[in-house]
Amino acid sequence: MSERSRWKRLAKCLHAARLPALLITHLPDVRYLCGFTGSSAALVLLAGTSQVRARLFTDGRYRDQARAEVRGATVRIVKGNTLHAAAEWLAAGSVPVCGIDASHTSLATQSQLTKALRTAKSKCRLRALISPVTSLRQIKSEAEQQTLARAAALGCDLYNDLLTFIEPGLREIDIAAELECRARKAGADGMSFETIVAAGPRSSMPHARASAAPIRPGELLTLDFGIMLDGYCSDMTRTVQVGQGGTLGRQRHQREVFEAVLVAQQAAVEIVRDGVSAETVDAAARKTLKQAGMAKWFTHSTGHGLGLEIHEGPRIAAKQDEPLRAGMVITIEPGVYLPGQFGVRIEDTVRVTETGCEILTPAYKGWLEL
């Protein structure tokens, strides 16, 4: 989807909702629509029947940056509060109602905006709704898909290189630091989220932070990380065994759980295609783990969309009947977490196509002993 078509589709959405204006303060949405990457902005959209007129309000810190980055909107640099400036523009245009994003606009911001409209003597009322930009962002343009694929490929390269570094005795934070340093040197903007490195019993915590705990021989190590490239996120998870150690019974149990998760992950990946509901993909992973007697230890959703943010729609989970569409980029990441023992998670990022999906993270995900 080109930037021009984004504006056209948004105009149609606002016209259908009988909404003459929309205020956007969620920065990823601002970037998606006009390209601005600063940390302070309010984007006001005035809708016609087939086009949108847009103005970006930001402060003097971003004077040069805004003028270099912004496309499709006029830029106004303000000395005071950007919301006050946006309210004045709405008042000057005699806008009767303006939409605000219920998912990302705090009560404090709503109160501040209402007060600013009163000060500007505007009769404009606010309507909270799920921003139409949210649905627009779910289906990626060809350019976005290519950027996400490049980010995922870089993540795979980093993972493959890191395998030669990992060994028993290293601390989890040593591995996280090494990965993040290599990512920066390889050209990443930064990390998509705080890198998860968890070994042994700590791997039973799905979102464990890397700690100073050393990795003991024979422990399972879960590595969940993502990098950002040109503003877009990658995301992948692999679980490996670090060295030899532990009883034969524990080793066999680790391998059994790993294989069950791998089969569940592959079952979910294989069912992804245009038109299949998100809950159907989730159910495919859970059914496989139920057959293995491990479903109760799968404690989170099967996946999520990603793009400018690490978590975007759609959500791949139970009771999510939204159909997947070609052009969506999602993760498939079932896991099994045995409290106090160990955990296994395997995650790929995939691009939804008309007939199936393309795996963007093809790094080896079978059983691996380092």
Residues 48 and 169 in one domain: no
Percent of the chain with pLDDT over 90: 79
Q: Which of 94, 115, 136 is the last residue of a domain?
A: 136
Same domain? For 129 and 146 the reply is: no
d(CA 84, CA 147): 36
Averaged pLDDT, 306-321: 97
Do 68 and 146 sit in the same domain of this protein?
A: no
Residue 267 lies in a domain: yes
| Position 260 in a domain | yes
Pick from 95, 115, 136: which residue ends a domain? 136
pLDDT at 24: 94
Task: State the residue range of the domain holding 15.
Answer: 3-136
Residue 243 has pLDDT above 60, yes or no: yes
Residues 179 and 327 in one domain: yes
Whole-number pLDDT of residue 280: 98
Structure tokens, 15: 């016209």
Closest CA to 262 of 351, 328, 348: 348
Are 132 and 148 in a shared domain? no
Residue 367 lies in a domain: no
Give the 3-state DSSP-derived string for 128-154, with helices as H, strands as E and coil as C.
EECCHHHHHHHECCHHHHHHHHHHHHH
Closest CA to 208 of 176, 256, 232: 176
Pair type for strands 42-47 and 21-24: antiparallel
pLDDT confidence of residue 279: 98
Residue-wise pLDDT for 207-235, tens only, equals 999 999 999 999 999 999 999 999 999 99
For position 312, which CATH number holds?
3.90.230.10
In a domain, 370, yes or no: no
The verdict on 28 and 145 lying in the same domain is no
The verdict on residue 366 lying in a domain is no
For the chain, how many structural domains are there in total? 2
Q: Where are the beta strands (DSSP E) in 83-226?
A: 97-101, 125-129, 190-191, 196-199, 219-225
> In the numeric block, which tokens belong to residue 5?
């078509």
Q: What is the pLDDT of residues 48-69, one digit of tens each?
A: 756 778 999 999 999 999 999 9
Note whether 175 and 290 are same-domain residues.
yes
Q: What is the pLDDT of residue 3?
A: 66
Q: Are residues 222 and 274 in the same domain?
A: yes
- For 123-164, what is each residue's pLDDT tens digit? 888 999 988 999 999 999 999 999 999 999 999 999 999 999
**pLDDT-derived band of residue 40, with 50, 70 and 90 as boundaries?**
very high
**DSSP secondary structure, 221-248, as one string:** EEEEE-EEETTEE--EEEEEEESS-S-H
CB 84 within 8 A of CB 59: no
Kindly state the average pLDDT of the residues 177-195: 98
CATH of the domain at 28: 3.40.350.10
Give the per-residue pLDDT at 17.
Answer: 87
Burial code of 40-53, b = ≥16 C-beta within 10 A, e = fewer?
ebbbbbbbeeeebb
- pLDDT tens-digit map of 95-121: 899 999 999 988 888 888 888 888 888
Let me know if residue 296 belongs to a domain. yes
90 belongs to a structural domain: yes
Residues paired with 214 in a beta bridge: 171
Domain identity same for 150 and 262: yes
Determine, yes or no, domain membership for 364. no
User: For residues 66 and 266, what is the distance between their CA atoms, to the nearest angstrom?
Assistant: 44
Nearest to 156 by CA among 347, 345, 356, 310: 347
- What span, in angstroms and rounded, lies between the C-alpha atoms of 348 and 360? 7
Q: Based on the fold, state whether residues 234 and 123 are members of the same structural domain.
A: no
Of 127, 25, 46, 41, the C-alpha closest to 94 is 46
Q: Are residues 125 and 169 in the same domain?
A: no
Give residue 17's identity as a one-letter amino acid code.
A
- Count of beta carbons in the 10 Å neighbourhood of residue 23: 24
Contact residues for 301 (Cβ-Cβ < 8 A; gap 6+): 282, 315, 316, 317, 318
* 279-308 confidence digits (pLDDT tens): 999 999 999 999 999 999 999 999 999 999
Give dist(CA 152, CA 154) in Å, integer.
5
Residue 98 φ then ψ, to 5°: -135, 130
Same domain as 185, residue 106:
no
Is 46:120 a contact under the CB 8 Å cutoff?
no
Q: Could you identify the residue written with the tokens 């006009």?
A: 34
